[in-house]
Amino acid sequence: MRLKNEIVVGMVVVLGAVLTVVGAFWLSGRPWGESQRELVAVFVEVGGLRSGNPVKFRGVEVGRITKIELDPSVGGVLVTMDVSPRAELPVDTGVLLTSASLFGDWQAQIVSRAAYPDEQFTGGNPPGVLPGATQPDITQLTAVGNRIASDLQVLAQRVELAFTEETALKIRETIENVEGISQQLAGFVDQQTNVYHDVSQNVLAAAENITQTTARVGRVATEVEAVFVEGGEVQRILGNVRQASQNLEDLSIRLDQATAGIPSLVSRADTTLGDLGHLAASTADLLDSVEPQVHEIGPAIAEMRHGIATLERTLARVESGDGTLGRMVGDPALYEETQATITALRRMLADIQANPERYIGAVRIF
């Protein structure tokens, strides 16, 4: 009996110990048996990063964050990570901290610094310590707004080239769709309010304004259509559109004021506002070219349709899967795209600030 007790207890204890070690290892998601390379990077701040968060290289998970510590000697935060040796680091390696989803989990991305010219990587690090940069958290919410703005912008440019009764109809449908997205976005931001509290208040306001704007643009399109159907009153429509542009500008200013109080938000909001402004400019340009007469535009229709199809595909993607934005949020490809859009928009804004004369012609209405 005693021997049996000892055997049973021994087996249970050993099994428990094995289960603990194996379970902890498995949950941490580390590859089995592979010796890991330790990387250290320094950051000004690390946002919501925690030990155990994934490290990604070219979108593939290659390791985990193992340690986060303040280091006064480098004046920042030292982050240590275990990375698979299979990840061949680029020459100008940097580590970019981004949020991995809308729900507060973060990740570290091993990147080539040249691919992210807008990110401010830490410099003058001790040897062996990689430079790092951290993207602000609000990115995720403004990104969706940016995306809609840029899609509208593309659409407007296309419309400039081709404007027929048929395309007007398409535009109207498209704008209605965009309006739909905006409403969904508003609803979505509403939901996120719980998570992001005051920050989301401003974003919520922005999203509502976007909804209003698209509604206005929709009305304009309806009237443009009417012109082609009934013929005439181009001037009146032009007046309405100008009014719409004015409103858009007002909106930009209001949005600017709304976000002015939150310094970390300003640059992000500016980007969005810049896009909206640019969109308005494009719309105005379009009206300018409509005013004299709509000329030979047949050949451009194909391209126009292509543009609309792109937007519609996006919409379809957004609306697939129970039609929830949650799916979109969970879809890494869309998320990556959104991130790319932000970076592109930022670059454009920088360009506008650097070379205003290149854009002056386009914005003469304002």
Partner 1 sequence: MKDLTFGPFAAVGKATEDILASLGKFGEFFIEILRSLRDVSTWSPLLVQQMRRLGVDSIPISLFLAMFTGVVLALQASYTFTGQIPLYFVGTLVGKTMMLELGPVLTGLALSGRVGANIAAQLGTMRVSEQIDALETLAYNPVAYLVVPRVLAGVLMFPVIVIFANALGISAGLVTAVNLLDMSTQDFIRGLRLFYAPFDITFSLIKTTSFGLVITVIGSFMGFTTRGGAEGVGSSTTRAVVISSMLILVLDAFWAVVLLQ
Q: Which residues of the shown chain bind partner 1 in the complex (CB under 8 A)?
A: 2, 5-6, 8-9, 12-13, 15-17, 19-20, 23-24, 27-29, 50-52, 101, 103, 105, 188, 191, 324-327, 329-330
Task: Decide whether 22 or 309 has the Cβ nearer to partner 1.
Answer: 22
Task: Decide whether 305 or 317 has the Cβ nearer to partner 1.
Answer: 317
Q: How far is the CB of 108 from partner 1 (least distance, A)?
A: 15
User: Is the distance from CB of 102 to CB of 140 less than 8 angstroms?
Assistant: yes
Residue 267 amino acid letter: S
List Cα–Cα distances, 169 to 24, 154, 303, in angstroms. 59, 17, 16
Query: Is the Cα torsion angle 13, 18, 19, 25 positive or negative in sign?
Result: positive
Tokens of 269: 């909001």
Tokens of 248: 């858009």
Q: How far is the CB of 7 from partner 1 (least distance, A)?
A: 10
Q: How far is the CB of 187 from partner 1 (least distance, A)?
A: 9
Q: How far is the CB of 322 from partner 1 (least distance, A)?
A: 9
Tell me the C-alpha distance between 80 and 85, whole Å.
Answer: 15
DSSP string computed for 248-284: HHHHHHHHHHHHHT-HHHHHHHHHHHHHHHHHHHHHH
Tell me the C-alpha distance between 266 and 50, whole Å.
Answer: 26
Q: How far is the CB of 46 from partner 1 (least distance, A)?
A: 15
Task: Decide whether 5 or 293 has the Cβ nearer to partner 1.
Answer: 5
Task: Decide whether 165 or 190 has the Cβ nearer to partner 1.
Answer: 190
Query: Torsions phi, psi of 29, nearest 5?
Result: 70, 20
Q: How far is the CB of 195 from partner 1 (least distance, A)?
A: 10
If DSSP codes are grouped into helix, strand and coil, which group holds residue 214?
A: helix
Query: Is the Cα torsion angle 207, 208, 213, 215 positive or negative in sign?
Result: positive
Residue 297 amino acid letter: I
Task: Decide whether 54 or 277 has the Cβ nearer to partner 1.
Answer: 54
Residue position matching structure tokens 């698979």: 84
Q: How far is the CB of 30 from partner 1 (least distance, A)?
A: 10
Task: Decide whether 25 or 366 has the Cβ nearer to partner 1.
Answer: 25
Task: Decide whether 17 or 260 has the Cβ nearer to partner 1.
Answer: 17
User: Is the distance from CB of 186 to CB of 207 less than 8 angstroms?
Assistant: yes
Query: Torsions phi, psi of 291, nearest 5?
Result: -50, -55
- R_g over Cα of the chain: 26
Tell me the C-alpha distance between 217 and 244, whole Å.
Answer: 7
Task: Decide whether 24 or 309 has the Cβ nearer to partner 1.
Answer: 24
Q: How far is the CB of 326 from partner 1 (least distance, A)?
A: 4
